């Protein structure tokens, strides 16, 4: 994660009920994602994102299953020490499917490299008051005076009760495929 090019993560983590001490530790550590994508014989995409631990903080692992049938939502449960118990799904989306009149969709659509599809992830906390919607993909980001390709997550966090919402762009330095 490139903290200098990302929006601050503390406000969204606080809204998700992550405690101050853990937020402080996350803010100091190097956040690295190891991403592996496979495709089943039926066309189902599986993405596993491992985030190794650091300085005594246990790592996490995200598993996303994206069905080959457009708009089919395969809900799955997950529990970890940072976000608690969550339930969510992931879908391939085009930018044209997002509504410019919707504040969240408009934010999610901003700044991408042209691509046929992006990964949309929706997660709802089962024991805290929030939902998270993300669009994942690649964008050109100003870095050191030049435009550089980066892996980006655009995030919308909403309270389930009330109207509080936070938007955040998280930028990762991208390395080309290292191995199969």
pLDDT of residue 9: 93
pLDDT of residue 55: 66
| Helix, strand counts (H, E) of the chain | 3, 9
H helices within the chain, ranges in order?
10-15, 20-28, 103-109
Q: Which residue segments constitute the domains of the chain, with CATH numbers given?
A: 10-173 (2.40.128)
**Stretches in the chain below the pLDDT threshold 50:** 178, 180
Task: Give the N- to C-terminal CA distance of the chain in Å, as an integer.
Answer: 22
One-character DSSP codes across 154-167: EEEEE-SSSS-EEE
pLDDT of residue 174: 76
pLDDT of residue 140: 92
Question: Would you call 77 helix, strand, or coil by DSSP?
Answer: strand
The phi-psi region of residue 24 (left if phi > 0; otherwise alpha if psi is between -120 and 50; otherwise beta) is alpha
């Amino acid at each position: 994660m490139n903290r200098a090019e990302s929006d601050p993560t503390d406000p969204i983590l606080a809204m998700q009920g992550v405690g101050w001490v853990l937020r402080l530790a996350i803010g100091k550590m190097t956040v690295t994602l190891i991403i592996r994508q496979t495709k089943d014989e039926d066309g189902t995409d599986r993405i596993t994102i491992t985030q190794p631990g650091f300085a005594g903080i246990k790592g996490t692992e995200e598993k996303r299953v994206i069905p080959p049938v457009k708009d089919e939502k395969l809900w799955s449960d997950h529990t970890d020490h940072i976000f608690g118990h969550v339930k969510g799904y992931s879908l391939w989306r085009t930018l044209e499917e997002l509504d410019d009149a919707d504040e969240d969709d408009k934010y999610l659509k901003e700044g991408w490299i042209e691509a046929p599809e992006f990964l949309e992830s929706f997660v709802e906390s089962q024991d805290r008051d929030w939902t998270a919607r993300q669009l994942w993909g690649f964008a050109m980001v100003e870095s050191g005076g030049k435009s550089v390709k980066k892996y980006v997550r655009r995030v919308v966090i909403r309270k389930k009760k009330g109207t509080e919402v936070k938007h955040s762009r998280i930028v990762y330095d991208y390395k080309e495929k290292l191995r199969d």
